[in-house]
Amino acid sequence: MKKDKTGVQLDLGHTSTDDFITEKYVLPLLRDEKMRNKLIEEHRATPVGRAPQPHKGQPMVEHSKELQIVLDKLRRQPMHIKKYVTICKKDFEDYRIGIVTGVRGQPVEILEESFSSEEACEHAIFLKRIVDLLERHGG
């Protein structure tokens, strides 16, 4: 007789908590068009943040609290749900978006569009993740 998987085996506790966080804190930021556009522009300016560079007189660049909330959610996405990654085909010249399957040993699907910098590729991934998240949660 085959036993059904338990809630722990199915990771239902984490899923319920993540769904609550998404509905309460993330989706209100993304459904508000003005806020969504503000977050997109902030991310475009500095997709990965920046460490301080005292010798150049540049301070550390951190993301706003709102952008950090969205980024934390996007980074928690399970591997089996169209997880995007940056693929470097040629340093400083050719970066692509890859899609992992979540199954060990299966190849990453590499999209054709090429970006000239890692930051541009990271921002394109950010935009795709926002669209996917909004589609999964009914806009």
Tens-digit pLDDT profile for residues 68-122: 999 999 988 877 788 999 999 999 999 999 999 888 899 999 999 999 999 999 9
Q: What is the pLDDT of residue 55?
A: 76
Q: Please name the helix (run of DSSP H) or strand (run of DSSP E) that holds residue 96, with its range, or none.
A: strand 94-100
Q: How far apart are CA 89 and CA 92, in angstroms?
A: 9
Q: Is the pLDDT of residue 24 over 90?
A: yes
In 49-102, alpha helices (H):
65-75
Tens-digit pLDDT profile for residues 41-74: 999 999 987 766 777 777 777 899 999 999 999 9
Q: Which residues pair with 97 in a beta bridge?
A: 86
Helices 118-136 and 65-75: angle between axes, nearest 10 degrees: 80
Helix (H, G, I), strand (E, B) or coil at 116: coil
Backbone angles phi, psi at 89, to 5 degrees: -85, -35
Q: What is the pLDDT of residue 54?
A: 77
pTM, 2 dp: 0.84
Distance of CA 134 to the CA centre of its chain: 13
Strand order in the sheet with 94-100: 83-90, 94-100, 109-110
Q: How far apart are CA 114 and CA 29, in angstroms?
A: 29
